[in-house]
Structure 1
Amino acid sequence: MKKNPNSCRWSELPMDMLRQVLERLSVLDLHRAKIVCSSWYLCSKQTVRQKSGSPLLMLSPEEGGCVLYNPDEDRVYKTTKSEFSGYRFLGSSGKWFLVVDSRSKLYIIDLFSEERIDLPPLESIKDGLYSVERLGDRVFMVRLVKNYSGVLVQAVEDLRGVLWVDDKSGEYVVVWQFESNGFLGFCKKGDDHYREITTCIGVRRELQGLCHMVLKGYSLYVLTSRKYIRQLDLSGQDGFKDVSEKHSIAVTTSGEALYVRSKAYETSTLERLRTFHVFKRDPKDLDPSTKDTRLVELDSLGDEALFLDLGVTVKADHSLGVEPNSIYFTLGDRIHHNKVPCMDICVYNHGTKNIKRFHGLSKLNVKDAQWFLPR
Structure 2
Amino acid sequence: MSRSRTCYDWSKLCHDLLRSILERLHYKDYHRARTVCSNWYTVSTTCKRPLYPWRVVFNENSALLFDPGEEQTHEIQHPGAEFSERYVLSSCSNWFLMVDSGLGFYLVNVFTRERIDLPSMESSILGKERVDKEVEWKHYIERTDLVSSKKQACLWINERTGDYVVAWSVKQHYLFTYKRGDDSWSNLQGAKCVSMVFDKEYKLYVYTADNSIKIFDLSGDLPEEIVEMNPYRNHLFSFRSVSKRGEHIWKQRVAVTNSGEVLMIVSLKGLGDKLLFYIYKMNLGSCKWERVDSLGGEMLIFSHGVTVRAPIKDINGLGIKGDSICLRDGDLWPVGFYFDIMQLEPNCGVFDLATSAITRPKSLDVSFVKSFWFVPGYALRRLVSHLV
Query: How high is the TM-score relative to the length of structure 1?
Result: 0.71
1:60 aligns with 2:55: no
Q: Rate the CA distance shift 1:39–1:360 in 2: closer, same or farther, 3 A.
A: farther
Counterpart contact for 1:328–1:371, Cα < 8 Å? no
**Counterpart selection for 1:313 from 300, 307, 324:** 307
Task: Report the Cα offset of residue 250 of structure 1.
Answer: 0.7
Aligned position for 1:194? 185
Aligned residue type for 1:23 = R
Task: Report the Cα offset of residue 193 of structure 1.
Answer: 0.8
Aligned position for 1:296? 290
Counterpart contact for 1:56–1:371, Cα < 8 Å? yes
Partners of 1:47 and 1:214 in 2: CA distance: 27
Counterpart contact for 2:152–2:168, Cα < 8 Å? yes
Aligned position for 1:212? 195
Task: Report the Cα offset of residue 170 of structure 1.
Answer: 3.3
Partners of 1:49 and 1:176 in 2: CA distance: 31
Counterpart contact for 1:132–1:141, Cα < 8 Å? no
Aligned position for 1:163? 155
Once the two structures are superposed, what CA deviation does each residue of 1:295-318 show, in whole Å capped at 9, x if it has no partner? Answer: 211022222222223313223344
Counterpart contact for 1:172–1:189, Cα < 8 Å? yes
Give unpaired runs (5+ residues) of structure 1. Answer: 144-149, 200-207, 287-292, 335-339
Of the structure 1 ranges 37-46 and 107-116, higher mean CA displacement relative to structure 2 is found in: 37-46
Aligned position for 1:228? 212
Paired residue secondary structure (2:267): strand
Partners of 1:108 and 1:252 in 2: CA distance: 24
Task: Report the Cα offset of residue 363 of structure 1.
Answer: 5.3
Q: Map residues 229-244 of structure 1 onto 2, 5 A cutoff.
A: 229-243=213-227
Give the fraction of aligned pairs with identical amino acids, expressed as a percent: 29
Partners of 1:169 and 1:10 in 2: CA distance: 19
Aligned position for 1:75? 72
Partners of 1:21 and 1:233 in 2: CA distance: 36
Aligned position for 1:185? 176
Please provide the CA RMSD for this pair. Answer: 4.2
Paired residue secondary structure (2:30): helix
Aligned residue type for 1:153 = E
Aligned residue type for 2:310 = A
Give unpaired runs (5+ residues) of structure 2. Answer: 233-252, 333-337, 379-388
Task: Report the Cα offset of residue 118 of structure 1.
Answer: 2.1
Aligned position for 1:204? none
Aligned position for 1:281? 282
Partners of 1:283 and 1:7 in 2: CA distance: 59
Counterpart contact for 2:22–2:47, Cα < 8 Å? no
Aligned position for 2:375? 372
Of the structure 1 ranges 153-162 and 106-115, higher mean CA displacement relative to structure 2 is found in: 153-162
Counterpart contact for 2:217–2:224, Cα < 8 Å? yes
Q: Rate the CA distance shift 1:319–1:165 in 2: closer, same or farther, 3 A.
A: farther
Greater share of residues in strand: 1
**Counterpart selection for 1:352 from 336, 352, 355:** 355
Query: How high is the TM-score relative to the length of structure 2?
Result: 0.69
Partners of 2:12 and 2:221 in 1: CA distance: 43
Partners of 2:292 and 2:19 in 1: CA distance: 46
Aligned residue type for 1:173 = V
Q: Map residues 73-152 of structure 1 onto 2, 5 A cutoff.
A: 73-82=70-79, 84-86=81-83, 88-125=87-124, 132-133=127-128
Q: Rate the CA distance shift 1:343–1:226 in 2: closer, same or farther, 3 A.
A: farther
Aligned position for 1:146? none
Q: Rate the CA distance shift 1:301–1:192 in 2: closer, same or farther, 3 A.
A: same
Task: Report the Cα offset of residue 173 of structure 1.
Answer: 1.4
